[in-house]
Chains A and B, each alone.
Chain A
Amino acid sequence: MEQIDDILVEFIIEAREILDQLDLDFVQLEETPGDSKLVGNIFRGVHTLKGNSGFFAFKRLEKVSHAGETLMMKIRDGALSLDKQKITSLLNALDVLREIISGIEINTVEPVGDDTELIQALLIHASGGTPSVKGPGDAPAPGLAPTQTGTTINDPADIAEARKSAAAGDEPPALKVAVSGDTTQAGNAIESVAAAAVKASDPLEPALATGEYTSAEEALLPIEMKSYEVAAPVKVNMEVLDKLINLVSEMVLARNRLLPFVAEFGSHNFSTAVRTVDLLTQELQERMMKTRMQPISQIWAKFPRLIRDLSNECQKTVTLIQEGADTELDRTLLDAIRDPLVHIIRNCVDHGIELPDERVRLGKQKTGKILLCARHENGMVVIEISDDGGGINFDRVRQKAVHNKLVTAAKADTLSDVELMELIFLPGFSTKQVVTNLSGRGVGMDVVKTNVTGAGGRIEIDSPRGKGTSIRLKIPLTLAIMPVLFVRSENERYAIPQNSIIETVRIDLATDATGLEDFYGTPVFRLRGKLVPVMLLNRQLNLSNRFPGPNQAITIVILQSSGTRFGLLVDEVMNMQEVVVKALGPLFKGIPDFAGATILGDGLVALILDPDGMATHSGLVEKMQSRKLNADEAKDQSLEETIPMLLFALSGLERLAIPLGLVGRLERFPADKVQRSGKHEVVKYGDGIMQIFRPNEYIDGADCSPEKSDKPISVITHYINQQPVGLVVDQVHDIIHVPKNTYETGPRQRGLMGCVLLDNKVINVIDLQEILMLRSLHDNEAPRVSVMDMEVVQ
C-alpha cells in the first residue's frame, strides 16, 4: 500500500514538472515557431505524461494527453503548423491536466469532469480543421476567444493566421502547409522588425538595445537552457537540510566554546588544530547556508505563461525580459514574494502597458515590454519590475483618493506625486474604473506591501508620468538570520527584532517634568511633545507587577508596529546581535508575544518578542487607532489658520476657551434641578442622567471655593463614548476664532493647554483631557475617552 502511494507521489511530482516545462516550451514556441527541437521536446513531454497516466489507469488524463499528443505528432511531422489557436487549445489542455493532477493529489482518484469539448477541439486541430473558436457561444477557451478578433488588425502574424484559418476550412491540406510556411516567415519578419526597432530607439533601456534583445530567440534561449539545468540536481528533503543547518549552527557554537582554550593552554599544536576546526566550521556554515538558497528563476519560470495569458486577455502585446534569473535567495523568502510578484506583473499588463493602438499613437513600439531583473545589492536582493507603459495615473489616484474620502479635496491638490504613491498601498485602493477579473478589486498593492514587509523587505516605486513604472522590492537575503536588540526584564533576556525598533529613550523620572503619566489606565510619556503609550514588559509577560518608582531612571524602547508607535519599558538595554531565528513549535502557538526563539553563544535560549503581536494582543493598537483618527483631524485643522473655540468664564479666570469640537451642547439648568448620585452631581438630561462637575479645582488659577447660589447654572456638555458629561461654568461668552497653535507660558499649568492671543487679550485654552483625567483619577475610575491632540508651540 505504502509503495503504491510512493509511486503515485512520484508520478504527481513528475507530471507537474512536465507540465511546467510544457508551459514554458509552448510560450517559447509561439515566439520561435520553427524550432523543431522544441516541438520534439513538447511531444515527448506529452507522450510521457500519457504513458504514465495509462499505467495508473487515469482515463481522463490519458484521453486529454492523447488528444494533445495526436495534435503534437502532426505538428512534429510537419503535417500541420502551430499557430496561436492551436497553442491556446494545447495550453487549455495543460490547464485541464493540471487540474486533474491536483484532484489526484487530494483524493488519489481522478476528479470527475467532461473533457469532450476540449478533446474535440484538439482532434479537429489535428485533422487539419479549425474548431469554431470564433463562434460566440461554443468556444472551447472562453475568455481567450476575443483575442483573435481583437488583434487581427494590428498584428501581421495574425493576419496571416486569419488568412490561413480561413483557408484551412475549404482548401486541401497541401495548400495549407504552404500558407503556414508563409506564417512562419511572417512571424520571423515581425521579430526582426521589432528587434530593429529596439535597436534603433529605446530611450528607457539602452542596455537592451545594445545586445540582449537582438532577437526574440536569443533573448529567450538562455532561459530555456536554465530551466533544464534546474531540473537536473538531486532532490533533497527540506527536513534533512534543516537538520543539517541546525547541526552546523550547533557546531559553530561548540567551536566558539573551544576558542578560549587556545589562549589558556598556549600549546602550538593545540592552537593549530583549533584554528583548522575554526576555518572548516566557518566554511561549512557558509556552504550550508547556501543550500537553502534557490534561484529566483524557480518562481519566474511561470511568468512567461502568465504574461501570455494576461496579454491575450487584455488584447495587448507584451514581451517579458528576464535578467539575473540565477540570483539566489532563501527558499522561505521565495515563497513570500511569489504572490506579490504575480500581482505586480498583473498590474503591469493590465494597468501599465497601453493598448497597441495607443502605444503607436504615443510613438512607442507596439509591443509593450516588462523587464524583470534581480540582483544582489548590499546584502539585499533587489527585484525590479519595470514596464514601459503609461506609468501611474496620478490624477486618477488623486480623484479616487478624494472619492474614497482618504484625503480632503483641498489637501489632495497639494499632494506631490510621491505622496500620492503612498496612497496606492492603502487597503481597498484601486484606480481601475471597471472591475475586471484581472484587477480593479482594490485588493492589491496593500497585500503586496504586507507580504514584502512581512519578509523584512521594502518597496520603492518610481513612476515618471507617461514613461512607465518601475517597482523595486528589496528583500533580505535570508529570513533565518535577523538583527535583534537584547533587553532585560527582571532576570530574563529577550530579543526585539531590530526592524521594528525606532529608538531607545532613557528618562530620569526624578528630573523629567512629566515622566510617566496615566492616560486612562495606559501609561504614556511625552516624546518630543507627542504622547507615546508605554507597555511594561514585565507586566506584559506576567513576570512581575513592578511599576517604576517616581525617582527612578527608566529605559524605553520605542517600537513601530501595525501602524502604531509604542514604548516598551525594559529594565536594561543590552547588546545588538545577529541571531538565527528558530520557531517555538506548536506547543507555544497561542502566545502572541513571541515571534520565535534563538540560541545564544552560551547555549541558552532567548525568546524573540513580536511587537505586532504584543501591541495587538494588549489592545494598544485598538486604543491607538482611535487616537490616530483624532490626531489626523487635528493635523487637518492645523493647515487652516484658525479654529473655533468657545469662550467662557470661571470664577477667578475670566477668559477661558475650549475647542468648539469638544463641545456637545450648551445648557442651562435651574439650580434646584441639580441632584446627587453618590458623590457626583447629576441632572436629568433628555431621557438619561448627566454627571456634572465644576472644573475649577482641576485648573490652576481658578477659584475653587464653591459658591452656593440659586441662580441657574450654565453647563457645557461634552460626550465621552456617547455619555454626556457637563462642565459647570460661570458664564458662556461667545464663539471665537483663534490661531490653531497655542503658546505655553512658562511651566505647564494644570488643566491648561496654553494660551492664544485675540485682540491683544490673552485667552487660556483648557486641556479637557487632562481635566477629565484628573477628575477620573480623583474618582478612581477610568472611563475611556476620545482624545483630540493639539500641537503645542513653545
Chain B
Amino acid sequence: MSAAGNYLTFSLGEFCFGIITTDVVELNKNLDVTLVPKSQKILKGITNLRGQIVPVIDMYERLGIMLGTTTKQTISIVSRCHGVVIALLVDSVGEIIQLEENTFEPPPNNFSPATRDLILGVHKLPEKLLLILDNQKIINGTGEYQAQPFEKEIIKGIDIHREQKLLH
C-alpha cells in the first residue's frame, strides 16, 4: 500500500493522527451517543446517523492514550471500515493534507504491539510527526481484541445479520 495520498488530520490530546480520506464519509459535531452497557471498552456507544445506527469508537481507549485535561471528544469522524460505518470520537480535526511517499517511515519498533498494528507509519511534517492510522484495523484489531467473536462477522458484512437476530 502506497503511503502517498490525501490524509485527514485529527488530534487526540497532544497526538496528531492522519487517516486516508478515501475511507472518511463525513465529519459530525456533538453527536448524541447512547451508552451501550456491557460493550467493549473501546466502544463508547451508538448514535443515530440519519436513521442508521452507528457504533461510536472511543479513540482514546482504542489507541490506549491516557485521557488528558484537554480531552473534549466532540468531533466524530464517520468512516467506513470493512463495510461497517463507524464513528471515531476525536478532540479536533485539522486540514486535509496531501502527502508524498518520501516523507513516510514505517512505525518504530518501540510502539506497543497493539498500537503498532494500528499505525501504518509516520509522516514527517515540517513542524510535527503525523501518525497514520490504518482505518481498516480499527474494529478489526489483533492482539487484545482478538478474543472477541465479532471480528469474523465483520468481514461477512452486517446486512446478513440485520433483523435476523430479532427472529430468534
Residues of A that sit less than 8 Å from B by CB: 238-239, 242, 246-247, 249-250, 253, 332, 335-336, 454-455, 479-480, 492, 541-543, 581-591, 593-597, 599, 603-607
Contacts and interface: CB of A to CB of B under 8 A. Distances in A.
Q: Chain A binding site: helix, strand, loop or mixed by DSSP?
A: mixed
Nearest to A594: B36
Nearest to A253: B51
A583 B37 contact: no
Contacts of A586: 84, 150, 153-154, 158, 161
Contacts of B148: 590
Contacts of B35: 492
A604 B159 CA distance: 22
B74 interface: no
B53 A585 contact: yes
Contacts of B149: 589-590
A587 B51 contact: no
Interface size class of B (residues with CB under 8 A): 35 or more
A542 B52 CA distance: 26
B39 interface: yes
Contact of A541 (B38, B46, B158): B38
Interface in B1-51: 32, 34-40, 43, 46-48, 50-51
Contacts of A479: 163, 166-167
Contacts of B167: 332, 335-336, 454-455, 479
Contacts of A604: 32, 34, 48
A597 B150 contact: no
B34 A596 contact: no
B32 A246 contact: no
B128 interface: no
Given A250-B50, A604-B34, A605-B48, A588 B163 contact: no
A545 to B, nearest CB: 13
Contact of B52 (A246, A543, A607): A246
Contacts of B165: 583-584, 595-596
B46 A583 contact: no
Nearest to A540: B37
B38 A587 contact: no
B53 A605 contact: yes
B55 A588 contact: yes
23 contacts: A246-B50, A246-B52, A332-B164, A454-B168, A455-B167, A492-B34, A542-B37, A583-B158, A583-B161, A585-B46, A586-B154, A587-B84, A587-B86, A587-B150, A588-B36, A588-B39, A591-B36, A591-B39, A596-B165, A599-B48, A604-B34, A605-B34, A605-B47
The 7 closest A-B pairs by CB, nearest first: A250-B51, A541-B37, A246-B51, A605-B34, A586-B153, A583-B162, A587-B55
B59 interface: no
A454 B46 CA distance: 26
A247 B153 contact: no
B51 A247 contact: yes
A656 B36 CA distance: 53
Contacts of B153: 586, 589
B50 A606 contact: no
A454 B166 CA distance: 8
Contact of A607 (B36, B50, B166): B36
